[in-house]
Amino acid sequence: MDLKNVIFAIALSFAVLFGWSVIFETPQIEEQKKLEQSKSSPSAESGNSDVPSVNFEKETVLNISRDDAIKSSKRINFENENVKGSISLKGFLIDDILFKKYNQEVGSNEKVKYLNPSETNDGYFIETGWAASKVADTSLPTKNSLWKIVGNNKLSVGNPVIAEWNNKSGIIFRKKME
């Protein structure tokens, strides 16, 4: 008799859980899918969403060499005993890091290049910035904004570099790298 009650209790529990998921969970999942689709629509990208959006800009890759890409923009250089690199003032992107103590292959003298400019075939970089919600008339710095250095232009221990960008609307954005 006890085994029948246990089996009946398990079957009833499954029925309650299944009924709950069909009646209450399915509409929530559908509503969440609609919300995700509306976020990816053009109206969400134009600033009509409550969620801050990031500017994803489609860019054609020029496929130039790493050295040419590094030489094509003004940069802040940094170096210590382990790494050597630079930060591009166009977009203030960290896109040039080379590990000085590590070779790409055993027996090779070619060092490991961790980050590469976006214009190269294997562009890989660090981009930091701002995102705005419902602020369509305020321009924010993007990957193509040209930053200027304030003060020191060589990044080293104890010597931070400060860069700023003016949006021409009275707002000055600053970044400090240490």
- 43-77 pLDDT, tens digit per residue, is 444 444 444 445 555 555 567 888 888 888 899 98
170-176: long-range contacts at Cβ-Cβ below 8 A with a sequence spacing of 24 or more? 171/138, 173/130, 173/140, 173/141, 174/150, 175/92, 175/128, 175/147
Query: What pLDDT, on a 0 to 100 scale, did the predictor assign at position 55?
Result: 53
* pTM (whole model) above 0.85: no
pLDDT in tens, 90-134: 989 898 899 999 998 998 888 998 888 888 888 888 888 887 776
Cβ atoms of 139 and 82 within 8 Å: the answer is no
Angle at alpha carbon of residue 165, lines to 122 and 144, rounded to 5°: 30
**pLDDT at position 49:** 41
pLDDT at 50 (0 to 100): 44
The two structure tokens encoding residue 152: 């020191």
- Write down the number of H helices and E strands in the chain: 4, 8
